[in-house]
């Protein structure tokens, strides 16, 4: 599996896909902060530590706004390189507040990814059916054909 945070290409795609590329740049500092946020999110989701996520969240704040479009809010950062990491940490916080039981670790033993189970019955087991789901099916098939 390819780690999307090994260089700046993956984060650049992620920023563009989320409409954030006008506000942030995927430079080396931003990627370092994203890696820190990812570790913090892992610890928070696994329940091993809350301090790292809290520390990431300390790098930004929400400013309530009133514009011609009406009331709203805007995230502000002293250091914009913290922006994408902070937004990811805040999304994690929202999930922990609303759907903690739907944040799962992938059931594939060789996969380290977590995912949000949005299935209706909550029975999803893999981060992706296309990758880990099929790998699990293939290895079960392999085990069966070895027994036979």
Single out the segment in contact with Zn ion by CB under 5 A; choices: 59-67, 69-77, 127-135, 138-146. Answer: 127-135
Q: Which is nearer to Zn ion, 95 or 113 (CB)?
A: 113
**Ramachandran sector of residue 65 (left: φ over 0; alpha: ψ -120 to 50; beta: rest):** beta
Of 90 and 102, which has the nearer Cβ to Zn ion? 102
Cβ distance to Zn ion smaller for residue 16 or 107: 107
Q: Does 127 bind Zn ion (CB under 5 A)?
A: yes
The span from the CA of 55 to the CA of 58, in Å, is 5
Alpha helix ranges (H) inside the chain? 9-17, 28-46, 51-57, 83-98, 134-147
Site for Zn ion contains 40 (CB under 5 A): no
Q: Compute how many residues bind Zn ion; rule: CB under 5 A.
A: 6
Q: Work out whether strand 103-105 and strand 114-116 pair parallel, antiparallel, or are unpaired.
A: antiparallel
Task: For residue 44, state whether it binds Zn ion (rule: CB under 5 A).
Answer: no
Is 81 a binder of Zn ion (CB under 5 A)? no
Q: 């992938």: which residue's tokens? A: 106
Binding site for Zn ion (CB under 5 A): 106, 108, 111, 113, 127, 132
């Amino acid at each position: 599996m390819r780690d999307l945070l090994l260089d700046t290409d993956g984060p650049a795609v992620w920023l563009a896909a989320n409409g954030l590329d006008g506000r942030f740049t995927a430079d080396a500092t931003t990627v370092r902060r994203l890696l820190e946020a990812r570790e913090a999110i892992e610890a928070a989701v696994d329940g091993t530590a809350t301090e790292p996520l809290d520390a990431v969240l300390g790098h930004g704040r929400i400013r309530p706004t009133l514009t011609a479009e009406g009331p709203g809010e805007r995230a502000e950062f002293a250091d914009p390189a913290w922006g994408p990491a902070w937004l990811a940490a805040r999304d994690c916080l929202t999930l922990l507040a609303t759907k903690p039981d739907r944040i799962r670790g992938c059931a594939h033993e060789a996969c380290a990814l977590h995912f949000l189970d949005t299935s209706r019955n909550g029975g999803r087991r893999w981060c992706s059916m296309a990758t880990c789901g099929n790998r699990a099916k293939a290895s079960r098939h392999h085990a069966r054909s070895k027994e036979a």
